[in-house]
Structure 1
Amino acid sequence: MKKLRNIIIIFSSTILLNCCTTNQTGEVDDEKENSGGESTQLEYSSEYQHNLNVIYFIPSNRSPNPDYHLRLSKILLNGQNFFNSWMKHWGYGDRSFGILKNQDKKLIKIINIYGKYPNTYYPYEGGHSNIKKEIDAYFSDNPEERTSEHYLVISAVNTIDPNEVQNSDVPFYGIGGRWAYALDYPGMSIENLGASGTTGFEATKWIGGLLHELGHGLNLPHCGEKVSEKNNPSFGTSLMGGGNYTYGKTPTFLEHSSCAILNNGQLFTKTPKSFYTPNATAKILNINADSDNTNINISGTFQSNIPVTDITFYNRPENNTGGYTAMTWVGKPSNNNTFSIEMPLDEFREKGNLNYEFSIILHHENGMNTWSSYGYKFENDLPIINFGDRDEFDKSNWQIIDFSSEEISGEGSINGKAINLIDGDIETYWHSRWTNNLTNYPHHFTIDTNNSLHASGFSIAQRNGARKIKNFKIEISNNNTDWEPIYNGTLANVPGKQYIKLPETTSFRYFKFTAKSSYDQLEFAALAEIGVFKD
């Protein structure tokens, strides 16, 4: 059954066609008609269970732009059709994001909220939090108006000069997978997409940018396109890559991995269903990884408390922190929670000598997504795979017998302590001391394995967060007195396990790990786990 939202508009007999009204209470703003002073009931409906909350935010020193309701309606209905076409293309059916609209007038429901302060109170850096407080207050007073957990907030910018729009200093990004922030300027029109010169360029940048940020507000991460997609005129540029500069001008598309996420999203369902609760608890139980001259091959098993519908295999080059050029493949899990994928090397746009972060993303049917990350690299255009399960020695009798420092309070009740390095859980971590008597590089710890190990190498897991270690060395000993340097190297700047292969199999009881520098160039160090493997 369609959901209806009824808005009563009182018209004056002197109002012109297509004029818009606003008010201080955040009521929905509708196009007016010359109705002779009679009230007209405008109905908004949707076939979806949940719909995008669209907010037009006007700082106290700005005003709504002319015809914004009609222009933004056209833009978002165009975007809805775009999302729909790619959902169908990738096999997810005739669906898009839900949005309340009036079919007769082709208008979407927009809620106006007037800011309490001038625009300088809502800057690009951090201004979203001040806007969000006022929006939350509105929905607290009007809970019936909230139609989902997803929000698109469009700030009014009262200039059409491209340089002034570019420097308008308003939030323009996605936050937390639920909130997207964009802007509206006078004349921002869907009709200008594809136009020549500055007019067309600005339309693509800001309309494409709005839909790109909306993607983030629908849980989408950045991702680029594979070689075959880039060269295919039916695909072109991924919206969640550089598509904010191509939308409406040159071919632009939604990646399969983006649609796999949207498939389980709250706004994409037409039937009753619960979303985002309970939290998904999932992990990769084992993973096998190798490469040949043709493919990178990945397989393994996982466990999860929430069923998984699709799995994305996400490859982010280390030189692209945001993931705009990340290449993705999508597979289906088998009935016994196994997975496998072949990723052809000729589909990678960047190889050479480059580190990659590789992530397996489990897409859960309640809209949650869980990531497990690893690292590998290309050397001379060929992949060097240094992750995948190894036969590791049992650590139950290991002891941390020395460390330069540990953080016992600032990282919570569990994290920070050195013992986390050998607890078998890569979600916990050791952190150098910082709350009291800050310690500087180098940082170290020493482990007694309580046995003589005949080892092939070390497994090292960076923390899934900040303070990743860059350069390090490992020394070994059989008596905790005489030490032999065995390895100097650089860890990849990615979470998850990395495997350090020794030049030859070596026997030892004790080993000392020394962190020599960090990726963030600060004095703090953190590490999740360390182990030793054998062939």
Structure 2
Amino acid sequence: MKTLYLKFIRLMSLLFLISFFSCEQIEEKPIIGEDEDEETFEYISEKPYNLNVIYFVPADKVPNENYHQRLSEIMLDGQAFFLKYMKHWGYGNKTFGLLKDDSKKRVKIHVINGTKPASAYPYEGGGNEMRKEIDAYFSENPSEKSSEHFLVISAVNQAVTGGANPADVPFYGIGRYAYALDYPGMSIDDLGKDGVAGSEATKWIGGLLHEMGHGLNLPHCKEKVSEASDPNLGTSLMGSGNYTYGNSPTCLTHSSAAYLNNCQVFAESQGNFYGPVSSSISSIQANFENGSIKISGTFESDVPVSDLTFSNRPESDAGGYQAVKWVEKPDGTSFSVAMPIEEFWQKGNTLYDFSIVRHHTNGANTATNYAYSFENDVPSVDFGDRDELDKSAWSIVDFSSEETSGEGQTGRAADVIDGDSETYWHSQWTGNAASYPHHFTVDMSEVKTAKGLSITQRNGQRKIKAYKLFVSNNNSDWTLLKEGEIPNLSGRVYFDLASESSFRYFKFEAINSHDGHQFAALAEIGFF
């Protein structure tokens, strides 16, 4: 009996040890949401559409401690920030929707465990890899998707001091997907503190909201000169505000608010968002007067326009960080704006890409581009309408090549004289790609007299740099009429001829490109 008793004691001790070490092992293994029971939260929203917030955890990473509370506080603070400036610019009590438990100050966060290690989701291309798994998650759980906008926050399990992106994770906006990161202890409470904790909080929390802005349809935008010193405004969040947020005055500009006003997750009622829009500028006048660049004109649109943004981007600033913008409401289908040059940061001798953006009530935004320049601090604004020659009887009689399949419904040589700046001629790139120089020849059907040339670059890639223009009356004997360079900008540019010239045929020859590639594209060509 004693022997049996001892065996029983040993067995129970062994079972206890096994149980003890098993429990220890389970406790040491990180569990998603282990700090809080998600079932204790009741997430609601008064809005019909809400931002989908995702915490993405690669297979070799773990959720950072207390991530739910910390990220919820950051999102709620960001929601209040956006609300403040929507009200400031006259758009009312509006901000982006979030599913949240107000009493417990928690935001609904979808945790998605990546199937691959963090190295499979790098800065370059990692966003698309994450998106595949995110889209699969919402495809399997369609009721969890609350809008077309997503904020994806990567779990980074180390400090992220030093370098632009030492963790090598996606940190940008692509379409309606924004990517940011969470490092251990990232907290809204560190904003404004001295030292590393404060600077890193500003950089990464401000950066999170900056990238989220891109996911909410916002382009880059700089504050005006007077706004920079205004304590109620300061640095634009969509400019360099990711380095000032929570540390010095930071704002949403009027233009950012105009974009957000029609964004799906700012909507107060259900609707049809981001459908196709047909819109164009019907007429435009431009001049420099009394210290301001003055623009006026009319537009057409099959979807109502709530506001127009007038954007001025220096040619050298491809990302638009230095673009200064004005916003005006339309008067029916008419518009006008006065832009004092004292509000511009860059004058001197600067080429500008000017665009007129129509903010449509369905959330879509359409733009038309022009070009002008500052010369010795004075703007030379000459893109107002010219009395261009009618092109209805013009025809293409020769071309070096054209793209007939790869550009969808456009790409043909005839598209360069169809009067539509959204269509374009593109040199052949499918099959046997054509190389520079490229050309096309136009028959104007009769002799015409012109004093200037109108060229509209494609609003996209493959912009032409150097060109030559030849003219003829018999399509055989050619004279070089003009040569030069076209600005690396979208939109229409006018070039004066040395003198009035009469001719029936003209040949446009593209010599090289701005991007150094062998392909050419051009939206429109004409004469005035």
Q: TM-score, normalised by structure 1?
A: 0.90
Q: Which amino acid aligns with 2:60?
A: N
Q: Which residue number in structure 2 is paired with residue 8 of structure 1?
A: none
- Map 1:91-490 → 2, pairs under 5 A: 91-163=90-162, 166-176=165-175, 178-277=176-275, 279-335=276-332, 337-412=333-408, 414-490=409-485
Tell me if the contact between 2:225 and 2:345 (Cα under 8 Å) persists in the aligned partners.
yes
1:163-218 Cα deviation digits (max 9, x unpaired): 48932111111111x11100000011111111112221111110000000000010
User: 1:3 — aligned with what?
Assistant: none
- C-alpha contact 2:41 2:104 (8 A) present in aligned 1: no
1:17-96 equivalent positions in 2, closer than 5 A: 22-23=31-32, 29=33, 32=36, 41-96=40-95
Report the AA paired with residue 495 of structure 1: S
Contact 2:62-2:155 within 8 A present in 1 as well: yes
Residue of structure 2 equivalent to 1:4: none
Q: 2:509 aligns with which of 510, 514, 518?
A: 514
Q: Is the 8 A contact 1:223 1:323 kept in 2?
A: yes
**SS of residue in 1 equivalent to 2:296:** strand
Which ranges of structure 2 fall in alignment gaps of 5 or more residues? 1-22
Per-residue CA shift, 1:476-527, capped at 9, x if unaligned?
2233333332222211112222111113222222222111111101111111
**What amino acid sits opposite 2:111 in the alignment?**
N
Looking at CA atoms only, which structure, 1 or 2, has the larger radius of gyration? 2
Higher mean C-alpha deviation, range 371-380 or range 52-61: 371-380
Amino acid in structure 2 at the alignment position of 1:472: Y
Q: How far apart, CA to CA, are the structure 2 residues paired with 1:81 and 1:22?
A: 31
Q: Which residue of 2 aligns with 1:7?
A: none
> What secondary structure sits across from 1:392 in the alignment?
coil
**What residue is the counterpart of 2:15 in the other structure?**
none
**1:391 is paired with a residue of what secondary structure?**
coil
2:128 is paired with a residue whose SS is helix
Structure 2 residue identity aligned to 1:329: W
Contact 1:165 1:185 in 2 (8 A): no
How far apart are residue 314 of structure 1 and its match? 0.9
Q: 1:161, CA displacement in angstroms?
A: 4.8
- Say if 1:276 and 1:368, in contact at 8 Å, map to a contact too: yes
CA contact (8 A) 1:479 1:509 kept: yes
> Are residue 526 (structure 1) and residue 521 (structure 2) matched?
yes
Aligned equivalents of 1:274 and 1:522: distance in 2?
40
CA contact (8 A) 1:20 1:32 kept: no
Q: In structure 2, do the counterparts of structure 1 residues 485 and 85 end up closer, same or farther at CA, with 3 Å as the change threshold?
A: same
Q: How far apart in 1 are the matches of 2:511 and 2:195?
A: 52
In structure 1, give the amino acid aligned to 2:252.
L
CA gap 1:272/1:22 in 2 versus in 1, 3 angstroms: farther
DSSP-derived class of the 1:194 partner? coil
Native 8 Å contact 1:79 1:211 kept in 2: yes
Separation in structure 2 between the aligned mates of residue 526 and residue 396 of structure 1, nearest angstrom: 21
SS in 2 for 1:228: helix
Go from structure 1 to structure 2 and tell me whether the alpha carbon gap of 1:134 and 1:201 turns closer, same or farther (over 3 Å shift): same
- Relative to structure 1, the CA distance from residue 283 to residue 22 in structure 2 (aligned partners, 3 Å threshold; closer, same or farther) is farther
Residue identity in the other structure for 1:440: S
Instruction: Among all aligned residue pairs of Structure 1 and Structure 2, give the percentage whose two residues are the same amino acid.
Output: 57
> Contact 1:20/1:30 (CA < 8 Å) preserved in 2?
no
Paired residues in the alignment total: 503
Q: Which amino acid aligns with 1:294?
A: G
Asked whether the 8 Å contact 1:230–1:237 carries over to 2, the reply is yes
Q: Distance in 1 between matches of 2:78 and 2:346?
A: 30
Counterparts of residues 494-509 of structure 1 (less than 5 Å): 494-509=489-504
Q: Distance in 1 between matches of 2:405 and 2:131?
A: 32
Q: Provide TM-score, normalisation by structure 2.
A: 0.91
8 A Cα contact 2:160 2:183, kept in partner: no
Seen in structure 2, the aligned counterparts of structure 1 residues 165 and 289 have a Cα distance that, compared at 3 Å, is closer
Indicate how the Cα distance of structure 1 residues 164 and 339 shifts in structure 2: closer, same or farther if over 3 A, else same: closer
Q: Secondary structure at the match of 1:454?
A: strand
Q: Distance between the aligned counterparts of 1:466 and 1:476, measured in 2? A: 28
- Residue 79 of structure 1, CA deviation: 0.6
CA deviation vs aligned residue, 1:339-390 (integer Å, no higher than 9, x gap)? 1111111111111111111111111111111111111111111112231211
Residues 1:76 and 1:288: Cα distance change in structure 2 (over 3 Å): same
- How far residue 142 of structure 1 moved from its aligned partner, in angstroms, is 1.4
What amino acid does structure 2 have at the position aligned with 1:348?
F
Structure 1, gaps ≥5 residues long:
1-13, 24-28, 34-38
Distance verdict in 2 for CA 1:402–1:74, change over 3 Å: same
